[in-house]
């Protein structure tokens, strides 16, 4: 089933890591399969042409255009709007800062969105 999403008034958003290895307890003194992404080492790029200008993306793990899970972060300017679109894969979102307003439907309706303030994310 495809769900149409619309997004308004975004400041920042991040997909949640989907690899269970990142939550396992590594042996003492080792990081195991865990990966760290220091802010200064994240490679930000312009968003894809399907989005309005202003979006910046950083793929941390996996390949969003391929099979399997992937992890990315996105920075969006205040008030940024993404037009209605579909997502063919499961996504998990954690809001790091700002407010992410999420709505569903075929047309943009600012009043129908749900505000997700910083710290909002999947249950866990």
Q: What is the mean pLDDT of each run of 10 residues along the chain (124 residues)?
A: 30 33 48 80 90 90 88 89 83 85 85 88 75
At 5 the three-state DSSP class reads strand
Strands 114-117 and 93-94: unpaired
Tell me how far apart the alpha carbons of residues 86 and 52 are, in angstroms, rounded to a whole number: 16
- Using a cut of 0.75, tell me whether the model's pTM lies above it: no
What's the pLDDT at 27? 52
- φ/ψ of 21, rounded to 5, equals -60, -25
Tell me how far apart the alpha carbons of residues 100 and 80 are, in angstroms, rounded to a whole number: 10
What's the pLDDT at 20? 42
């Amino acid at each position: 089933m495809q769900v149409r999403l619309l997004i308004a008034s975004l400041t920042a958003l991040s997909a949640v890591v989907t690899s269970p290895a990142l939550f396992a307890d590594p042996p003492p003194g080792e990081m195991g399969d865990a990966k760290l992404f220091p802010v200064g080492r994240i490679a930000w790029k312009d968003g894809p042409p399907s989005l309005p200008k202003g979006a910046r993306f950083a793929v941390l793990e996996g390949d969003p255009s391929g099979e399997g899970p992937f992890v990315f972060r996105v920075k969006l300017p205040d008030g940024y709007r993404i037009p209605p679109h579909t997502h063919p894969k499961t996504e998990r979102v954690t809001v790091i800062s700002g407010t992410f307003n999420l709505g569903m439907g075929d047309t943009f309706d600012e009043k129908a969105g749900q505000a997700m303030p910083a710290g909002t994310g999947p249950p866990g």
